[in-house]
Amino acid sequence: MDILLIRGDIAQQDAEAIVNAANNHLWMGAGVAGAIKRAGGREIEQEAVAKGPIPIGEAVATGAGRLKARYVIHAAVMGRDLRTDADKIRQATQSSLRRADELALKSIAFPALGTGVGAFPLEECARIMLDVVHGHSASGTSLERVFFVLYDEPAYQAFERVWRSSQGTSTG
């Protein structure tokens, strides 16, 4: 499995699924969720909310509206309090990867879960998410490419530092 780091807007990615850093009620407000809703349309939020609420750490898939992606995987990384922690990020990442396998997807794009509204530290997020993806790839998966799409330079740099220190495959 290839892991690629990209600096950009996740809503513009050409992966089969993009991951939304969601709350457990699945309404799409600010940050990544807001960008996805603006680019893809309100129907994404309407479909998501109809599937919620879900337990924190779980993920559900919806259509992707006008996005290039086929699906949006909504990973509940926080509750209504908009707070997150390492366990919630780990579980939400694992749940997103499971949804991708259930849909037999070959590519998925993740944001830095919980680091925007949730204010979780970028490098710790990178360590957790990269660790989960490496573990998932070892267990057999339909996924061939996992993109980490980082919106700004500090996020990209944090993921790149952690990724390089853990070995890595290629950057994009």
What's the pLDDT tens digit per position in 44-76?
Answer: 999 999 999 999 999 999 999 999 999 999 999
Residue 157 lies in a domain: yes
- The CATH number of the domain holding residue 7 is 3.40.220.10
- Which tens digit of pLDDT belongs to each residue from 72-99? 999 999 998 889 999 999 999 999 999 9
Residue 172 lies in a domain: no
Q: For residue 17, how many other CB atoms are within 10 A of its CB?
A: 26
Residue 171 lies in a domain: no
pLDDT of 167 strictly over 60: yes
Predicted model pTM: 0.94
In the prediction, which pLDDT does 80 show?
A: 85
pLDDT of 140 strictly over 80: yes
pLDDT of 38 strictly over 60: yes
- Structural domain tally of the chain? 1
Residue 18 lies in a domain: yes
Largest CA distance in the chain: 41
Q: Is 152 helix (H, G, I), strand (E, B) or coil?
A: coil
Residue 143 lies in a domain: yes
Domain range for 91 is 2-165
Residue 72 lies in a domain: yes
Q: Is 64 exposed, middle or buried (0-12, 13-18, 19+ CB in 10 A)?
A: buried
Amino acid identity of residue 144, one-letter, is E
118-152: string of b/e by CB count within 10 Å (b at 16+)?
bebebbbbbbbbbebbeebbeeebbbebbbbbbbe
Residue 170 lies in a domain: no
Strands of the sheet containing 107-110, edge to edge, are 2-7, 145-150, 107-110, 17-23, 71-78, 59-63
Q: Nearest to residue 122, comparing CAs of 5, 25, 12?
A: 5
